[in-house]
Chain A
Amino acid sequence: MTFGWNREILNHVHIPPAYFTRQIRLRLMGFAGAAGILLALSLTIRGADGADGGKPPAQTSADPKAIEVFENRIRPILAERCFECHAAEKQKGNLRLDSREAVLQGGDSGPAVVSGKPDESLLVQVVGYAFDIKMPPKSKLPEREIADLTQWVKMGIPWPNDTSKGESAGTRGDKSKTDEITPEQRAFWAFQPPAEPAEPVVRQVEWAKSPLDRFILDRLERAGLAPAPAAGKRTLIRRATFDLTGLPPTVAEVDAFLADDSPDAFAKVIDRLLSSSRYGERWGRHWLDVARYADSNGFDENLAYASAWRYRDYVIDAFNKDKPFDRFVAEQIAGDLLPAEPGRPFDGLIATGFLCLGGKMLAEDDPVKMQMDIVDEQVDTIGRAFLGLTLGCARCHAHKFDPISIDDYYSLAGIFKSTHTMDTFTVVARWHERPVASADAIRSRDEHQIKIEAKKGELNHATETANQRLLRDARAHAGDYFLAAVAELQWTDYLKTARPIGSDPAAIRDRNAIIIEAENFARGNVLQVTTGYGEGIGVLVNKGELPNFTEYDVPIEETGAYQVEVRYAAAEARPIKLIINGDLVRSDAAGRVTGSWNPDTQTWEIVAHCLLKAGQNLVRLECGGPFSHIDKLLLAVGRNAAGQPLTTVSPATDGYRLKPEFVSRWVELLDQSGRDAPVLIAIWRSYRQTGKLPAAETFPLASRLTGIEPLSEQGLASRLAGLLTEAERTWQELQSAPETAQAERLADPALESLRGLLYNPQGPFKTPKSADSYYAADDLASLTHLRGEVNELQGSLPMVPEAMAVDEGKIEDLRVHLRGSHLTLGESVPRRFPAIFAGDRQPLDAARSGRRELAAWLVRPDHPLTSRVIVNRVWLWHFGEGLVRSPDNFGRLGERPTHPELLDWLALRFVEQGWSLKTLHRLIMLSATYQMSTTSNDTAAQTDPENRLWWRANRRRLEAEALRDGILAVCSELDPSAGGSMLPTPNRQYVTSTVSKGLATLDDSRRRSVYLPVVRSALYEMFQAFDFADPSVLNGRRDTTTVAPQALFMMNSQLVAQATRKLAQKLLQTQAADDAIASDMARVQSIYECVYSRPPTTDDTSRALQFIEQYGNAQIARQTPSDEARVRAWQALCRAVLSTNEFLYLE
């Protein structure tokens, strides 16, 4: 073992943060000293465990070291390797290993362990695989685990008294679980409801504008520090405007504030900003960081969350309306179950999008794991977003630092297991969406849907009728089809040896062949090229109209079977359709690659064998794309190898045209080998192979074939064809006679075998997939009409908007998942809230998920965390740091509040004032604390470098959105339109592949950044560079890094280039004074006031003017026309001013 047990223990004891920040001192104390403290600490905690008097001590030593060893090394082995067969579920060999007693008692083979004696312990022997019994049976444990178990047995199998961790199902006593929480844990500050603090008495009374300030000042005075001087009015309005709206103040707004001497001038500014709809866009975005908002799933299958924007707009609207925060929280957890607010019927539903927006592994192969991962994401997000608790830590084991047990976790998880978030868990899984429209609209959509279905039914019926007619007509010509197939096969045989005759002048003469120059078409849409391809070669070249086609009128002297040849050259395959007298004869004629487009590869090919009638025949060539280089066509009477004319099938006497698809199916059938072939085929093949008919005893059908004299292939074919037709005719007669209409078969077994073939749904008369070209004209017309109606109805289907939202699901309690795995389940736990808050007697309605109750519990006025957590977030978003500097973790490993009383005071005021965020903003922003300047002073900087006591305002960098929006705003380029979706991708479609296409680019769009789509795994580069919140995880506090790509964005991006050019052009359009110099000075002033909210100093102005001159001259020296040089110089100035720290940082 590389690590000793002691070391292992040290790794698992909790170091309180206070120690953590004093690590250097710890190091000075030396390793041993620190370990001593920690050990003592762990003893205290474990000592409290031992105070449980419900059971006799199971072992002499409750040595915390040993227990730690058990929990961290042994229990996992038992749970993962043994419990499947030896715990509550199963007791193979009557052995259980889930309690110390059970281990000592053993099973059929005796005690599993002799305490302290590994050599005599069965357990050690079986895991060593040195014994007949080998455990675990599937594979030997890793050496380390065997060593651990051996060591554990040697130590006397220490096992904690506390057996209620979930693993030891069934052994749990009836003691209340709340007893497991130690008094220390119970007393932790975050679990106490906020208490009304006494307002501190301070010396600098006049500085404090409100009680808030007294809490701050009190600490400063006690630390011997003084608050920084108040910020100037320009700084203040700039700070407040960016704070509340994410935009810079306009010059007019600054001027108005400067001109307002009234005592409530700043209050008026705050009110104005709070009532602007820009406020919601700014603060809504803060909340979206917490809600890990995104417009796509990210993760494995990055599908578009195309309705996510409704949640975003809901959040923005909630902030603008100052929706009470308790309602806001409740709606996000259970909005679908709450009575709607008047006039806002869908807010609640849309708000539950909060639960759905997380990134998911939609392609997880294990559906149970997928569901539990999604539930986990919900529980973890709710824990950190609203409670500031890392509940997710308890998925695998009791929370190591906070009093959250694994039971607590799965009791909460049960609430979300009982919530319908997903429609499916199969790859790729489908998340749930719900309509957000009036009942009328949904009804009208549903009714319309019913109409569509009805019309589709009508269409299906009509199609079925047309198909029946098609098949009936085809069966009536079964014999013709059979003959056609026979002829086709003969043709195929012929082709195996046949050679084209096109290049054989003797054969042409002999056969009296007709040769047609391809370019001499009667009708067509291609170019005729007769030069450049060799003498006598003219080819067909695409003119741009597709499909290419040519038609030839060919007079024929004598009806008969003809072979058709084509001469062509092709460097790529371009098969053509050959259509003769309206019948498609071949669909892939002349489709070979001859080698090139050039004449030297011109090649003759036999493309078809078909019946041509005496008189005019219409030959048509057609190709979906451009033609090959076709030079000539040839038609000649077909001859077989023996020089005999080939047979072909005469058209049906009633004018019926054979359908190629049925012909092909008959061909396939005739070509089919094997024992499963239908009788007819068997006979046919037998004759073809042996020249004889099979015995009549073998096939009844054969008896009907006698008397064909002389027996020939053609004769047999005709006879079989006749029998097919007869079978169908007999069947039709039988069906049409009332007394025999119910008959299920023909009496004559020979005919019945043929009828069976004709009516086999997978047989030669299988309904074609696309039969349009086969339908009778009237059938086709009515089908076309009906299809039109269906399309029209579908096109006019009213769209009902949908939102990502949850629903109640199948209500069920969850079993504890040992080590977080759904493969090792413990005991079922009832749905409830964490015991530390609510005890364990909290029956939830068996008929409901419990979300509504959870929401109500979270927003109880005396809830110790909900109000504190949000008040802290608001403070952080105003000041750059929270009163608790770990905004998402109020647990033991989080930071302690720097000003606990102030936090409580704010939380209490917040609840008292109806959970109004706008009231909270006023409270904070009207304080002297908020209005301090960033002015540093050496003493304070030495004493409190992190400004934990708030001796000055923090200098803050603009976030990505405020920077981008600010640049657009000062350049008058910002598009103020609000709301809606900018994601072009349809819902549930992949977005990653279209990142560079379709999506609005950050550089092109002029909308506020909050409305740009947030595509997980494809964030805008500028957002990434400026620390935009990673939308895959909850973010209570953004980083503010300073990296070179930020500079690259300012220097090189199209957005900054275009916006500053616009600004430069605008500046140059106005002539402020007659004097050119005065005009330029006015322009500089204008830039400074727009960008910095202050006028330039004399130095600023002269430096700017000097820059304009120098830059302009340099441009002119590069041959830039002077007007353009001027624009570029001013553009460069604007870009430089925008790139400075004074713009990027808020004082």
Chain B
Amino acid sequence: MRTRGCNEFDLVLNRRDWLKQSAAGFGSLALAGLLGAEAATGAAESGAPNPLAARPPHFAPRARRVIFLFMHGGPSQVDTFDYKPLLERDDGKPLPFSKPRVFSAQTGNLLKSPFKFQQYGQSGAWVSELFPHVAECVDEMCIINGMHGSNSRHGGALLELHTGSDTFVRPSMGSWITYGLGTENQDLPGFITVCPTLSHGGVNAYSSAFLPAVYAATALGNSGVSSDQAKIPYIANADETPRDMQRLELDLIRQINQDSLATTGPDSTLESRINAFELAFRLQTTAPALQDLSREPESMHKLYGLDNPATANFGRQCLMARRFAEQGVRFVQVTHSYKWDQHENLKADHSRNALEVDQPIAALLKDLQARGLLDDTLVLWGGEFGRTPVAQGDNGRDHNPQGYTMWLAGGGVKGGLVYGKTDDYGYYAVENKVHLHDLHATILHLLGLDHTRLTYRYAGRNFRLTDVHGEIVHDMIAKTAVFKA
């Protein structure tokens, strides 16, 4: 990890300057419409930009959008993608090296994985029996076995994974990316999170913090809500007023607003608000339609496991993610709620969790590929940390940010690659280590954004997703450009 000064600047105009340059200062961000295509039209005369308008990246991108499959709780690397024969051999023996200085609970001796591993694909990557469907896609995936983070608790680690800081409230990576690139569909939010968790910091994982609020995620439901009930707030009328009735009301609002514009004179803020009503009116139809999975053919329902109670909930989330991605939403996160925290019952609970997500995830990858979307859609899978190879109790594992697995697929990453290594037992990342900051830098790079240039001035200094850290892991990136920007 390279360390750089935390005050660094760019002489090249950064995103914020781009916004600033074309309008009257910070306040003009107010001109923004969350769904601002028409806001921009209305504001065109005064030159106010739409903060969500699609913007060119710093350089040719490999990916245009991101789907983040978040496994809240911390899946175990040594039971999923990081095969450790020595752990099996030395089951029950003490760990032959020291445990980290800071840990969350007392742990005992080495605990072998209760799951069988096998090699898959041309690449021969090892995957455990937990992920038979995902395993079929290993040749599209870059499995990062040398991940490491800085915090051993859910709250801190979850924040670090999403924002780069394990201590402070900072913009989420989805917010940074939307801030950097805008969005491609002005009728939809640029950053959507489906059923996000409310615990361990909750909204801090998808808030825009000090970035303008237009870059915060639009949350559909939360982890306590079944994914078929996940909706945009206030999307449905409380009194079920029919659409044509509402149209009458909106016409009246527009007339009164036009009248006052005549009094006040041109004011782009007022104009963009008039448009916001029109957008909201349309959104009432488009968003529920986009979320209406009954429009998908039976084969899709089967593919994503919607016909199976075990996979239906996460399957719907994955299918929604594909539909949003297809419609140009920049960053979609789907959360498999706080289930992966196996301090005990490792075998039973990891089996259940994997069962719920395995088929839907594989379906998403295959579906994206079949539609040609995988080329420019970056899929990220992982939890806030991994788990210890040593036992907590007799059938559990504790938190482990020292070394764990995440994987990337599509969006310009090298498929069939297993990158980085943990030690013989899977405790510490030891080779080709990838810190969360490095992962962030790499994700931004794939999107055509220079992580050192994507900055925002707040509280007296320029902030960025990677703070003063971050090394792009070029080895994970495919050599040939998949598409030209």
Residues of A within 8 A of B (CB): 8, 10-12, 14-15, 23-24, 26-27, 31, 34-35, 71-73, 76-77, 80, 142, 144, 298-302, 359, 361-366, 373, 384, 390, 392-393, 396, 400-402, 427, 880-881, 885-886, 888-889, 891, 893-894, 934-936, 945-946, 955, 957, 990, 992-993, 995-996, 1003, 1016-1019, 1021-1022, 1024-1025, 1027, 1030, 1032-1033, 1039-1054, 1057-1058, 1099-1100, 1103, 1107, 1110-1111, 1114-1115, 1118, 1132-1133, 1135-1137, 1139-1142, 1144-1145, 1147
Contacts and interface: CB of A to CB of B under 8 A. Distances in A.
Contacts of B1: 142
B265 to A, nearest CB: 5
B347 to A, nearest CB: 23
B8 interface: yes
B317 interface: no
Contacts of B29: 1039, 1041
Nearest to B101: A366
12 contacts: A299-B201, A363-B153, A390-B459, A427-B153, A992-B198, A1032-B204, A1044-B279, A1045-B233, A1103-B256, A1114-B244, A1132-B252, A1137-B256
Contacts of A71: 5
A366 B102 contact: yes
A72 B259 CA distance: 58
A1017 B219 CA distance: 12
B216 A893 contact: no
Contacts of B201: 298-300, 302, 1017
Interface of B: 1-11, 13, 17, 21, 24-27, 29-35, 39, 101-104, 151-156, 158-159, 166-167, 169, 198-204, 207, 209-210, 212-214, 216, 218, 222, 224, 232-239, 241-242, 244-246, 248-250, 252-253, 255-257, 259-261, 264-265, 267, 269-270, 272-274, 276-277, 279-281, 283-284, 452, 457, 459-461, 471
Nearest to A947: B24
Nearest to A1142: B260
Contacts of B236: 1052
Contact of B213 (A894, A1039, A1135): A1039
A1045 B280 contact: yes
A72 B257 CA distance: 55
Contacts of B259: 1099-1100
A1142 B260 CA distance: 7
A1049 B237 CA distance: 9
Chain A to chain B: the 8 pairs with minimum beta-carbon distance, closest first: A300-B155, A1017-B202, A1043-B34, A1047-B280, A1021-B233, A11-B8, A390-B460, A1054-B238
A1048 B232 contact: yes
Contact of B249 (A990, A1016, A1132): A1132
Given A15-B9, A76-B3, A1115-B245, A1048 B153 contact: no
B281 A1042 contact: no
B248 A1040 contact: no
Nearest to A891: B460
Contact of B252 (A144, A1047, A1136): A1136
Nearest to A76: B3
Contacts of B460: 390, 393, 401-402, 886, 889, 891, 893-894
Nearest to B104: A365
A1049 B234 contact: yes
Contacts of B218: 1045
A1017 B162 CA distance: 14
Contacts of A300: 153-156, 158-159, 200-201
Residue among A23, A77, A365, A993 having the largest count of chain B Cβ atoms under 10 Å: A365
Contacts of A934: 264
Given A299-B155, A427-B104, A1142-B256, A1042 B276 contact: yes
Contacts, number: 301
A402 B461 CA distance: 11
Contact of A1047 (B4, B32, B279): B279
Nearest to A1054: B238
Nearest to B222: A995
Contacts of A77: 3
A1032 B205 CA distance: 12
B202 A992 contact: yes
A1018 B223 CA distance: 13
Contacts of A24: 21
Given A10-B9, A1022-B234, A1046-B273, 17 more contacts: A71-B5, A302-B198, A362-B155, A365-B152, A366-B102, A390-B459, A992-B199, A1017-B202, A1030-B210, A1039-B30, A1042-B269, A1044-B283, A1048-B235, A1100-B259, A1118-B242, A1140-B257, A1141-B270
Given A76-B3, A400-B7, A1017-B204, A361 B253 contact: no
A1140 B202 contact: no
A388 to B, nearest CB: 10
A1016 B201 CA distance: 8
A1048 B233 contact: yes
Contacts of A384: 459
A1047 B281 CA distance: 8
Contact of B9 (A11, A427, A889, A1016): A11
A1048 B34 CA distance: 12
Nearest to A880: B27
Contact of A361 (B156, B222, B281): B156
A31 B236 CA distance: 53
B30 A1044 contact: no
Contacts of A362: 155
A363 B152 CA distance: 9
A298 B104 contact: no
A1051 B245 contact: no
Given A300-B155, A1044-B35, A373 B167 contact: yes
A990 B201 CA distance: 12
B169 A1053 contact: no
Residue among A359, A955, A1030 having the largest count of chain B Cβ atoms under 10 Å: A1030
A616 B364 CA distance: 72
A607 to B, nearest CB: 31
B252 A1103 contact: yes
B459 A1111 contact: no
A1032 B155 CA distance: 14
B464 to A, nearest CB: 12
Contact of B281 (A366, A1051, A1136): A1051
A1041 B239 contact: no
A1052 B243 CA distance: 11
Contact of B30 (A10, A993, A1041, A1135): A1041
B279 A361 contact: no
B156 A993 contact: no
Contact of B234 (A885, A946, A1041, A1045): A1045
A1025 B233 contact: yes
A1136 B256 contact: yes
Contacts of A363: 153-156
Nearest to B242: A1118
A1044 B276 CA distance: 5
A1047 B236 CA distance: 12
Contact of B267 (A955, A1019, A1025, A1052): A955
A80 to B, nearest CB: 8
Contacts of A34: 11
Contact of B5 (A72, A1017, A1051, A1114): A72
A856 to B, nearest CB: 26
A456 B102 CA distance: 40
Nearest to A8: B4
B252 A1133 contact: yes
A883 to B, nearest CB: 15
A1047 B152 contact: no
A865 B457 CA distance: 22
Contacts of B459: 384, 390, 392, 888-889
A553 B27 CA distance: 87
Contacts of B8: 11-12
B287 to A, nearest CB: 10
A301 B155 contact: yes
